[in-house]
Amino acid sequence: MSYAFVINSGSSSIKFQIVDPAADASEAPLVSGVVEQIGEPNGRLTVHYQGEKHSEQRPIADHTAGLHTAIKRLEALGCGPSDLHLVAVGHRVVHGGLVFSQPEVINDQVVDMIRDQIPLAPLHNPANIDGIEVARELLPDIPHVAVFDTGFFAHLPPAAAIYAINKDVAGDHQVRRYGFHGTSHEFVSAQAAAMLDLPDAAVNQITLHLGNGASAAAIRGGEPVDTSMGMTPLAGLVMGTRTGDIDPGVIFHLYRHAGMSIDEIDQLLNKKSGVKGLAGVNDFRELRAMIQEEDQDAWLAYNIYIHQLRRFLGSYMISVGRVDAITFTAGVGENDRFVRADALANLEMYGVKIDPERNALPNDGPREISADDSQIKVFVIPTNEELAIAQKSVALVADHR
Ligand code: ADP
């Protein structure tokens, strides 16, 4: 059997999976694991293989040490690169800028071109590049592929992609909407079309990726026509720790009057805002527990989250025109029935009606949660970005042979 090694390299962690690209979306991967707290004294490797969890704790100096430790552990378990037929290493890369709209087989020039996009994604692309460089060194005989989070949205209509900002400045600095979570929106929208038993091109839909990061996409006939994240993943919906859309004037105000540097404001808006900034927690399970204890901050944070989500839903229903399906995915979207129910409450006049019993079922694979008489189908579809990356990587490598 052929496998793909999928790597999602962050600034202090490397998540990895070994995936059979032909697997069913709901199947667990052969191997999944994560190296965490890279560069910290309490580094940790966790590997899941054959239903068992293997962990080790020790300082992990950098990404090279992290991936090296992981591969050594996989070899010891008998599921390492030399034990399996690995046909591709697929890397999640956050920002492809204007250069990459499709997955790309990685060579030195491609790495340089991904590096050129760092100004657009200073928080993400450097860590993605670290992962690529280390993995190419450790697994030199396997083709590596970059799959871009922005790729699915590369051809947004200009009216949705271009900001009303001075066009010379925007042009000089590649300022525009790129959109993110593209692999996830593409994956679940294809599944939604399959659940409707229709080709992608025949379906108009809205996909809501609600994880710690969150984004919405409007997709008409298989083509994205709008999405909520922008030049960076900071825009759009309220998220776990990010503001989502705010008046950009807030930034000038904080810079001029709160004595904050640009880097501090960047940290504030990306890491200390959103639900966490409002309620002190960013996990929706904790938020729900606080709401049940009548914590007012938690209740307000939740309402702000839902308010913003409904604003996007409403505008995307107009953008798409006739809507066939609305799909929830990612940690919150797949698991939090309150969010789903409140996001779509009182929309019967727009053809949306959730069935409360279906909505209350546990997260167990793709499912419909709309009532039989809902004109618009509402689905919960677990996302599987690693499988999507594996499939894209293996397909591209096969094309290149
Ligand atoms: P990311 O990939 O952006 O880190 P995920 O898609 O894994 O995020 O989503 C993580 C979030 O999902 C958690 O922060 C938590 O808010 C939410 N979540 C996970 N499980 C549940 C659950 N059972 N009920 C409600 N929310 C959940």
Hey, is 177 helix, strand or coil?
coil
For residue 338 the two structure tokens come to 């309150």
24 pLDDT more than 80: yes
Determine the distance separating the centroid of ligand 1 and the alpha carbon of 212, expressed in angstroms: 6
Average pLDDT of span 182-208? 97
The answer to whether 217 and 189 are in contact (CB under 8 A) is: yes
Distance separating alpha carbons of residues 44 and 12, to the nearest angstrom: 11
Determine the distance separating the centroid of ligand 1 and the alpha carbon of 170, expressed in angstroms: 35
The pLDDT of residue 399: 83
The pLDDT of residue 139: 95
Q: Which residues are catalytic?
A: 149
The answer to whether 318 and 312 are in contact (CB under 8 A) is: no
DSSP annotation string for 284-352: HHHHHHHHHTT-HHHHHHHHHHHHHHHHHHHHHHHHHSS--EEEEEHHHHHH-HHHHHHHTTT-GGGTB
388 pLDDT more than 80: yes
The pLDDT of residue 1: 87
Residues having CB closer than 6 A to ligand 1 are: 211-213, 240, 282-285, 330-332, 335-336
For residue 359, say whether it is annotated as part of any ligand binding site. Answer: no
Average pLDDT of span 169-184? 97
Q: Which domains does the chain have, with CATH numbers?
A: 2-148 (3.30.420.40), 197-385 (3.30.420.40)
Residue-averaged pLDDT of the chain: 96
For residue 99 the two structure tokens come to 């250069």
Residues 6+ apart with CB under 8 A from 391: 4, 21
Q: Provide the percentage of residues in the chain whose pLDDT is more than 90.
A: 95
The answer to whether 236 and 244 are in contact (CB under 8 A) is: yes
* Atom nearest to 286 CA in ligand 1: 16
The answer to whether 54 and 46 are in contact (CB under 8 A) is: yes
Identify the bridge partners of residue 218 per DSSP, sorted by sequence position.
Answer: 206, 226
For 239-294, write each residue's pLDDT tens digit.
999 999 999 999 999 999 999 999 999 999 999 999 999 999 999 999 999 999 99
Q: Are strands 85-93 and 2-9 parallel, antiparallel or unpaired?
A: parallel
Structure confidence at residue 155 as a pLDDT band (50, 70, 90): very high
pTM, two decimal places: 0.95
Determine the distance separating the centroid of ligand 1 and the alpha carbon of 333, expressed in angstroms: 8
Average pLDDT of span 85-92? 97
For residue 72, say whether it is annotated as part of any ligand binding site. Answer: no
